Structure 1
């Protein structure tokens, strides 16, 4: 029973962290994309430290939420659902089957986009603009998937606590 209680506690912790990360990403997304992010905006990054920090915050929070959900919350949730966590792609396939994410393919596209935003923006501002706009378009889907995982974690955690 101790292992089950430890898993329930982990799910509670990860759910709290995930919800905070969702809110932080939504806040930054709103501040960065109050209007369509343009090439002209990207050109201001060198001279506008506030814009540069917002951009970095968006990229960081976008990636962090993906990491928390995909690498931590989802494997713990799968364990709680009596599924054996495995490689990330297998976990994503199971998450899609359970209706926790829209699709494995979309999640992997978000991952590629995150990597593009992190590594390529310094060299090509056009790529940065495109990647940021695509990231912005993915935010609702990413947050919705994260919140579905949180809701399922809370449901499973409540069942575990009730069994004590």
Structure 2
């Protein structure tokens, strides 16, 4: 695969990630007003937020960070190396935070009790804010390297 082909694939993933960030932001705004929603609306808002959080984490790690490694011809066989390189590139202070985000995403995917899901909202909100910071740093990196 040529550099141009790798860039094109990566930029598509980046575009998809950024679109998902917009949806996540919308869900965050809805979550801030849960007390104004009825029970059904509340459940839907929580479900949408946690689903968008999970999708955003997947896109960040599996498409954006992994795609950046592919673009820069790094070995992508180990997911741990992918998140470690995110730290080395300055996207995050501690790669373990990315692992924690992914762990929460996995827990949410296998939780079916509404009360337990609601208990994790604050944690997902904090990680979501971190994702927006990471996205800004990646955006700067991409511009500096003229990738997208």
Measured after TM superposition, the shift of residue 79 of structure 1 is 2.4
Measured after TM superposition, the shift of residue 113 of structure 1 is 1.6
Match of 1:12 in 2: 11
Question: Bigger relative contact order, structure 1 or 2, given CA contacts below 8 A and separation 6+?
Answer: 1
Which of 147, 150, 159 is equivalent to 2:136? 147
Match of 1:30 in 2: 29
Which of 129, 146, 150 is equivalent to 2:118? 129
- For 1:4-153, list aligned pairs within 5 A: 4-34=3-33, 48-122=39-113, 125=115, 127-153=116-142
Runs of at least 5 residues in structure 1 that lack an aligned partner in the other structure: none
CA RMSD of aligned residues (A): 2.5
Q: Deviations over 1:60-110 (max 9, x none)?
A: 110111111101111121122342223111110111111122322111111
Aligned length: 148
Give the TM-score taking structure 2 as reference length: 0.84
Measured after TM superposition, the shift of residue 16 of structure 1 is 1.1
Distance 1:24 1:102 in 2: 25
Give the TM-score taking structure 1 as reference length: 0.77
Q: Deviations over 1:13-70 (max 9, x none)?
A: 11211111111111101111236x7xxx9xx9xx722222211111111011111110
- Bigger Rg, structure 1 or 2: 1
Report the secondary structure of 1:101's partner residue.
coil
Runs of at least 5 residues in structure 2 that lack an aligned partner in the other structure: none
